[in-house]
Amino acid sequence: MEVTLRLLRYNPEVDDEPHYQDFVLEAEPNDRVLDLLHHVKWHDDPTVTYRSSCEHGICGSDAMRINGVNMLACKALVRQLGNEITVEPLLGMPVIKDMIVDMEPFWDHYRSVMPFLVNEEIPQEGERLQSQSARARYDDTTKCILCAACTTSCPSYWADDEYVGPAAIVQAHRFIFDDRDTAAAERLAIMNEQFGVWRCRTIFNCTTACPKEIKVTKAIAEVKKAINTGRLD
């Protein structure tokens, strides 16, 4: 099938404003948008710029807006999108070039929630064991690949990028509800700050955007409930 791939191009060294550029190419229905980007870069215009690494939905490096929805280019199939496909960089982040955005503000929010296990106690012997049910408590939020699709689909984040954003709250959730961790109160205090969890207006864009199907809005609600009740059940 013939596909028109419309790319929002921006090179700060030569462009005053972003502009769209169309490429017409032959594609198979099961081709991914990433395959189309590779084809354009390798055969038509080597200056087309985007990130990718694993190409199998694991590393999270190729999140972008595809036909207006945040997706991973390596998981978005032509047959799901039709023969007119528009690709734009993630919203709400500074664009460096074409589909590449500056992720540093995203990493600042990520780092702010202490995304690591805190426990000063040395286990008596062997590993720090955990029951299956305790592990299951935060299983969903372990699936995050930090692609930023959720945070950059959130109108609250677009309105104010000081908001810590859904991805950072998902990371906080992953440790708050881990019964081996001893810093839940500290993380909940961070979540309770001005630009923490209460900026979420339960819009659900994050849940729709997540390529790993994490129930992001539910995780945010659980963090809100833990702040209000002081309980982690």
Stretch touching ligand FES by CB under 6 A, among 18-26, 54-62, 89-97, 174-182: 54-62
Site pattern 62..81 for ligand FES (x: CB under 6 A): x---------x-x-------
Is residue 59 at the binding interface for ligand FES, with CB under 6 A as the rule?
Answer: yes
Q: Number of residues interacting with ligand FES: please give it, by CB under 6 A.
A: 12
Q: CA 76 to CA 192: how far, in whole Å?
A: 36
User: Minimum CB separation from ligand FES for residue 55, in Å?
Assistant: 5
String of b and e for 31-58 (b: at least 16 CB within 10 Å)? Answer: bbbbbbbbbbeeeeeeebbbbeeebeee
Instruction: Name every residue whose Cβ is closer than 8 Å to that of residue 196 and which is 6 or more positions away in sequence.
Output: 164, 169, 190
Q: Is the dihedral of CA 133, 134, 137, 139 positive or negative?
A: negative
User: Minimum CB separation from ligand FES for residue 219, in Å?
Assistant: 21
Query: Using the rule CB under 6 A, which residue among 25, 38, 55, 184 binds ligand FES?
Result: 55
Is residue 54 at the binding interface for ligand FES, with CB under 6 A as the rule?
Answer: yes
User: Minimum CB separation from ligand FES for residue 70, in Å?
Assistant: 12
Is residue 58 at the binding interface for ligand FES, with CB under 6 A as the rule?
Answer: yes
Stretch touching ligand FES by CB under 6 A, among 12-20, 42-50, 55-63, 218-226: 55-63
Is residue 143 at the binding interface for ligand FES, with CB under 6 A as the rule?
Answer: no
Three-state SS letters, 18-35: CEEEEEEEECCCCCEHHH
Residue 19 exposure: Cα atoms within 13 Å on the Cβ side: 7
Q: CA 157 to CA 112: how far, in whole Å?
A: 16
As a whole number of angstroms, the longest Cα–Cα distance in the chain is 64
Query: Using the rule CB under 6 A, which residue among 11, 47, 53, 119 binds ligand FES?
Result: 53
Query: Using the rule CB under 6 A, which residue among 61, 141, 153, 205 binds ligand FES?
Result: 61
Tokens of 70: 């945040």
Return residues touching ligand FES (CB under 6 A): 52-55, 57-62, 72, 74
